[in-house]
Copies of this chain bind each other. A is one copy, B any other.
Amino acid sequence: MEEISIKYDSAFKKKKGRYEEIIIAAGKIFSSKGFHRARVEEIAKEAGIGKGTVYEYFKSKRHLFVEVIKYFTTKFLKEFKEAACSGKDYREKLENALGLLIDILHESSGFFELLVRDRWEMDERLYQWMVKVRGEASKVIEDILAEGIKAGKIKDINPRIPAMILIESSRLALFSGDLGNEGMSPGGLKRAIIDVVLNGILR
């Protein structure tokens, strides 16, 4: 299969494929080992190319790292925003957005830990980028909550804190399995979080 598609692929790759291929391979390796333990040669191998080729596309390991972060966060934000639109009311939108976030965290936990973990690797510009991404993600949820407020379903409060609580709480998906919440599927986690934040736990 690999063999069969070589010609088609290689014709395509020259244009933009290589760049993206390397990003994706690097995403895998960085996610599983972190910046420092990831070896450029290993990334190249994962991408099925030679070590030097990486440097044809990226100035340095650090630059590659930055592009990996940007690539995946951009991709995530796009999907997240789309999910946040697809629903008939604020409640459905909330479920869709949070569901997507939790699914992604659940599946790609490695990558999302990068965002916190390798904060040390970030220069100021990348750090500001991450702050912006975080802010945008928060805004997506805030807007949904604002819709709920407008519809009279939600208390008329500043939706920022609840929005951020919802997002932070989604991080629990990272620890499923490790923390005894076995049997807690992504879907179950989503419902539980929404339930707590919407209804509270007071009797």
Interface on A for B, CB 8 Å cutoff?
A: 33-37, 113, 116-121, 131, 134-135, 138, 145, 152-157, 159-162, 164-165, 168-169, 171-172, 175, 178-181, 184, 189, 192-193, 196-203
Contacts and interface: CB of A to CB of B under 8 A. Distances in A.
B117 A120 contact: yes
The main secondary structure of chain A at its interface with chain B is helix
Contacts of A118: 34, 117
Given A117-B117, A180-B135, A197-B201, A165 B155 contact: no
Given A117-B117, A165-B196, A200-B201, 8 more contacts: A113-B117, A116-B117, A117-B120, A154-B202, A159-B201, A169-B169, A197-B197, A197-B201
